[in-house]
Amino acid sequence: MPFTKTRAHNEFRSDTFTVPTPSVLAAGMASTTTLGDAVYNEDQTTLALEAKVAAITGKESGLFAVSGTLSNQIAIRTHLLQPPHSVLCDHRSHIYIDEAGGLATLSQAMVSPVRPTNGIYVTLEDLIENYIPDHGDIHLAPTKVVSLENTCNGIVMPLDEIKRISAWCKEEGLKLHLDGARLWNAHVATGISMREYCSYFDSISLCLSKSLGAPVGSVLVGTKQFTCKANHFKKQNGGGIRQSGILTAMASVAIDENLPQLAVAQAYAKDMERFLEQHQIALEWPVHTNFVFIDTKKMKMSTDLLEELGKKYDVNLMGNRIAFHFQNSPEAVENVKKAVLECYQDSLTNPYDVRGALRTYKIDN
Ligand SMILES: Cc1ncc(COP(=O)(O)O)c(C=O)c1O
Ligand SMILES: C[C@@H](O)[C@H](N)C(=O)O
């Protein structure tokens, strides 16, 4: 597909900045787009998107939600029945660090955050090590849900590990949720089908507004009984949408047209990985898909300076993560390299010691 420069061409803070293409926008206003009230399940365009994503993932049912945060939180709330209970997940999980404590407020849940012993992805052994069995000990909040994230920081979780964890969850009677905000990226990187990935989970949250370029939305998939109850929590939390056909028509075209474009972003990321390797600039995490994390702590590079140098080279950067998407321009990618190299060179004479955890996201309120 020919490259069309958009306002996101120099945006590397996140793939959430992808913007609707003209054809995505047009779909929202098309005469074929229905305007039914989706709270009454009467919007055919929305029902069609939900069925489409359910078919892609091999699940019985789909539920459109306005965000990945809402989709994740109502999924876990639906799985959790009676506190005290807890959720077992990777310590980097979005549901744990970036959903404003939703697990505590909506689900009254504790979280057992797990650090991968291999430093890359959580294994069954890591989860078992942190599992809280429901053996009647009244001191504890037993594990009832395991939540994985694929990709997590852009890292693709090996399918064999997913299979092991899924089998163990079934043995232990635990529900298994996937934050699949960027599962599309794992699918494109590995060639493993969305259906295969999703077959091991009770529920999956898929984002349409990251990398795919839909302006709004996620789809939560699972059994019909599950999505019906999740819809109840969606409505409870203000997620009921009236004429959502305008949004779901755009999301449907975004899937069709932009899914193949994810390979463009992943190629940019691999190019950046090679560039960093050439200059012996360390990575914090391996590059599997569209994210490149520079180990600025190890390199003693200042992320504030990096963001400033980004402005100098007309690219938007945030923290130590470089998030690529198909709407980035080749020129902007080269400008990111200039900013990174200048920041690295500065660190050689002005080493910067980071104190405390490095926060990636900076959102001006
Ligand atoms: C892994 C992951 N899950 C969930 C979300 C939440 O999505 P949203 O920003 O639409 O709430 C994000 C945000 O981009 C994310 O990166
Ligand atoms: C900001 C954060 O919620 C978003 N998930 C991102 O990766 O950019």
4-50: pLDDT as tens digits: 788 999 999 999 999 999 999 999 999 999 999 999 999 999 999 99
Among all bound ligands, the one having the nearest atom to the CA of 96 is 1
How much is the average pLDDT of 52-73?
Answer: 98
In this structure, the strands spanning 86-90 and 143-149 are parallel
Question: If you write DSSP's letter for every residue of 169-181 in order, what string do you get?
Answer: HHHHT-EEEEEET
Q: Which amino acid is at 9?
A: H
pLDDT at residue 361 tops 70: no
**179 φ, ψ to 5°?**
-80, 95
**Which residues 6+ apart lie within 8 Å of 210 measured at CB?**
14, 15, 16, 18, 68, 181, 182
Q: Is the CB of 149 under 6 A from ligand 1?
A: yes
Cα–Cα distance, 297 to 262 (Å, whole number)? 29
pLDDT cut 90: percent of the chain above it: 95
Q: Is the CB of 321 under 6 A from ligand 1?
A: no
Q: Is the CB of 44 under 6 A from ligand 2?
A: no
Among all bound ligands, the one having the nearest atom to the CA of 210 is 1
pLDDT at residue 295 tops 80: yes
pLDDT cut 70: percent of the chain above it: 97
Q: How many CB atoms sit inside 10 A of residue 349's CB?
A: 6
pLDDT, residue 360, reads: 61
At how many degrees (to 10) do helices 245-258 and 22-29 cross? 150
> Hey, which of 96, 98, 289, 365 would you mutate to test ligand 2's pocket, going by the most ligand atoms within 8 Å of its Cβ?
98
Q: For residue 113, list its beta bridge partners.
A: 89
The domains found in the chain, sorted by start residue, are: 33-257 (3.40.640.10), 261-349 (3.90.1150.10)
Token pair of 23 as six digits: 């054809």
CA of 66, closest atom in ligand 1: 10
Supply the pTM of this predicted model.
0.97
Asked if ipTM goes beyond 0.85, one says yes
Q: Give the tens place of pLDDT for each residue, 108-132.
A: 999 999 999 999 999 999 999 999 9
pLDDT, residue 319, reads: 96
Dihedral (Cα; 258, 53, 195, 16), 10-degree rounding: 40
CA of 181, closest atom in ligand 2: 5
How much is the average pLDDT of 215-223?
Answer: 98
pLDDT, residue 362, reads: 64
Whether the ω angle into residue 2 lies within 30 degrees of 0, i.e. cis, is: no
